[in-house]
Amino acid sequence: MTKTVIKVGMASCGIAAGARPVYEYLQEKLGDREDVEIKQVGCIGLCFREPLVEVEKDGSRIIYGEVDIESLDKIIEQHVLKGTPVKEKAIISDSFEAPENKTLDKQVRIVLRNTGIIDPTKIDEYLEREGYKGLTKALEMAPDAVIDEILESGLRGRGGAGFPTGLKWRFARKAAGDEKYVVCNADEGDPGAFMDRSVLEGDPHSVIEGMLICGYAIGAQHGIIYCRAEYPLAIKHLNIAIEQARERGFLGKNILGSGFDFDIYIKEGAGAFVCGEETALMASIEGKRGMPRPRPPFPANKGIFGKPTNINNVETLANVAWIILHGASEFNKYGTGKSRGTKVFALAGKIVKGGLVEVPMGMPLREVIFDVGGGIPGSKKFKAVQLGGPSGGCLPESELDTPVDYESINATGAIMGSGGMIVMDEDTCIVDVAKFFLSFVQNESCGKCPFCRIGTKRMLEILERICDGKGTPEDLTLLEDLAYKVKDGSLCGLGQTAPNPVLTTLKYFRHEYEAHVNDKKCPAKVCTNLIHYTIDPNTCIGCTKCARVCPVNAIEGQVKQPHKIDDSICVRCGQCKSVCPVKAISVE
């Protein structure tokens, strides 16, 4: 008799959505049955339906979404014990129509090939799915042949800049020195991007294997994973994976009898966005302030502790073993132009199916957002999509036919970045978003270059003026002028790209800036100094709900009498509007 396998999505996001009590309940009810195996797996990407429980029984596979204890009882009773799936809770099924079947159809999973499928704390499950076969194959090849294969695949850095990975490896191989380093950049700091976390939590061995292949190709002995401290579960799973890889002889001396020595340790970051920049990252690994330095010398020649160093990000490395095992031509059949393979995007914001998706490069933005992501919730209108985090830009509806590849996205003024895709609807104020990103980079600027340190501060002040209704038409000119100066006057990627959110919004949404400046209006009704809440006395039924919810007691009125908002006290939090049963409260 084959076992029934039950998998619970237990990445950070799943746990946050309540997966732990679900897992514990399953253990309590079914833990001692020999015909049932209960597993903790990573994130399959359907975050909007979390907590997720997958049941594999009698050769069929069904994923249940938004599982709570009540529905779990039903799933155990009907499906696990009696073999009849609970159709109304199923979101994915290989045997009948289920609402999210199509969400996965358009995806191609190379990076996410194992996340949500295997238990990341068990190396055997990774081995069962071709784990370490890429390494085995690489060790039989000459190091230069490994580099050629990666070059031919067209793999480019997935952390943002898109530099050809094979070329980077070649530079590091050619660099003189007996001692070399491979660094995995797991300092995923872009607000809105979480694919690296998901891979590290759900499939840590794929990253370790990628680092091993890189180490072999460039002739390195040391591997360092620089992981942000905000990802405790990722660090835990990495530690387990490294330990298991050592036990099985994939890490350490004379790996698989090849004579190749390589080991990996983890270095935790301490909270600094700029440390995602490679020279700052190296300074941080050396225990210093994470300040970028000019290049050359490039890390390939003079990296950590002065030794040749190759730095790749998590997603890039997770592709490597697959490419070596399946061949460059299998990889580069996906994609378009100079952008080959797939890209993982983190869909979030005002989108129906928020989560992680992996699609072939070249898919138009519209298809990613509306077909894979399910579009905008409610009957709201799409306004913009923000790509590339604080270094990227906001694109309007008219740019939605842009294919997701490095060159096409760069041409719009945004960047691919690490793959954060935040969707905004008509209720999002674009000037406020620009202000948000500016305040982020302002905070995170290391302070080395005056233009980045002071220029972004001045830009932020201008944006604050505009949002407060005190902006002048000259402010827009000044803002644009400063933006270009900050770009030109900064040493590293942070400063050079910091103005992008402002420049793209000025390019595509100038009318919204002008409404703030000329008409002193915020069209999205977000900027607090430009909006006022009022109660229509003819509609108000005096139910007192608004007065009770108001956090600053700005609403007065007797029961069953029309209420009134004191505008001088009101903090524009909008809670009154959201509780009013008769829609008597409006904002102008």
Query: Residue numbers of the site for another protein (CB under 8 A)?
Result: 12-13, 15-17, 47-48, 50, 188-194, 197, 229-232, 268-273, 284-290, 305, 346-350, 354-355, 386, 389, 420, 422, 424, 428, 433, 436-437, 440, 444, 446, 549, 551-552, 571, 573-575
Instruction: Return the number of the residue (86 or 555) whose C-beta is nearest another protein.
Output: 555
Cβ closest to another protein, residue 125 vs residue 425? 425
CB of 430 to another protein, least distance (A): 11
Which CB atom, from 107 or from 336, has the smaller least distance to another protein? 107
- Picking from 317, 305, 286, the residue whose alpha carbon sits closest to that of residue 204 is 317
Task: Give min distance, CB of 256 to another protein, in A.
Answer: 29
Which lies closer to another protein via its Cβ, residue 275 or residue 409? 275
DSSP assignment of 338-369, as one string?
Answer: TEESEEEEEEEES-TT-EEEEEETT-BHHIII
Task: Enumerate helices (H) and strands (E) in the chain, giving the number of each.
Answer: 25, 20
Shortest spacing between CB 21 and another protein, in angstroms? 12
- Nearest approach, Cβ of residue 272 and another protein (Å): 5
CA angle 224-208-308, nearest 5°?
40
Rounded to a whole number of angstroms, the minimum distance from the CB of residue 85 to another protein is 25
Q: Which residue, 335 or 354, is less far from another protein as judged by CB? A: 354
Nearest to 443 by CA among 192, 278, 274, 230: 274
Closest to another protein by CB, 348 vs 540, is 348
In a 3-state reduction of DSSP, which class is residue 529?
A: helix
> Min. distance of Cβ 50 from another protein in angstroms?
8
Phi, psi of 31 (to 5 degrees): -55, -35
Q: Minimum CB separation from another protein for residue 488, in Å?
A: 26
Give which of 464, 457, 458 is closest to 442, Cα–Cα.
457
Shortest Å distance, C-beta 69 to another protein: 18
Give the residue with the Cβ less far from another protein, 143 or 189: 189
Would you say 370 or 436 has its CB closer to another protein? Answer: 436
Q: How far is the CB of 378 from another protein (least distance, A)?
A: 13
Query: Which DSSP symbol is given to 175?
Result: S
Omega before 51 cis (within 30°)? yes
Report the DSSP beta bridge partners of residue 36.
Answer: 4
Nearer to another protein, 186 or 217 (CB): 186
Least separation, in Å, of the C-beta of 348 and another protein?
Answer: 4
Question: At 424, phi and psi to the nearest 5?
Answer: -125, 140
Would you say 195 and 419 are in contact if contact means Cβ atoms under 8 Å apart? Answer: yes
H or E stretch at 63: strand 60-64
- 407: its two tokens: 């060159």
Alpha carbons 207 and 42: distance in angstroms, whole number: 15
Give me the least distance between CB of 47 and another protein, in Å please: 3
Which of 342-370 are b and which e, b meaning 16 or more Cβ less than 10 Å from the residue's Cβ?
bbbbbbbbbbbbbbbbbbbbbbebbbbbb
Burial 466-475 (b: 16+ CB within 10 A, else e): bbebebeeeb
Query: Which residue number, 138 or 272, has a Cβ lying nearer to another protein?
Result: 272
Q: Which lies closer to another protein via its Cβ, residue 53 or residue 433?
A: 433
**Is the Cβ of residue 146 or residue 238 nearer to another protein in the bound state?**
238
* Residue 554 CB, nearest approach to another protein (Å): 12
Q: Minimal distance in Å, beta carbon 362 to another protein?
A: 24
Distances in Å between the Cα of 355 and the Cα atoms of 196, 321, 345, 367, 564 are 13, 25, 8, 15, 42
Find all residues with CB under 8 Å of 251, minimum gap 6, and list them: 208, 212, 242, 245, 262, 263, 264
Distance of alpha carbon 397 from alpha carbon 399, whole angstroms: 5
Surface-to-core class of residue 446, CB atoms within 10 Å of its CB (0-12 exposed, 13-18 middle, 19+ buried) = buried
The C-alpha angle 238, 243, 244, rounded to 5 degrees, equals: 100
Between 247 and 286, CB nearer to another protein: 286
The angle, 0 to 180 degrees and rounded to 10, between the axes of the packed helices 473-488 and 510-518 is 140
Q: How far apart are CA 203 and CA 227, in angstroms?
A: 15
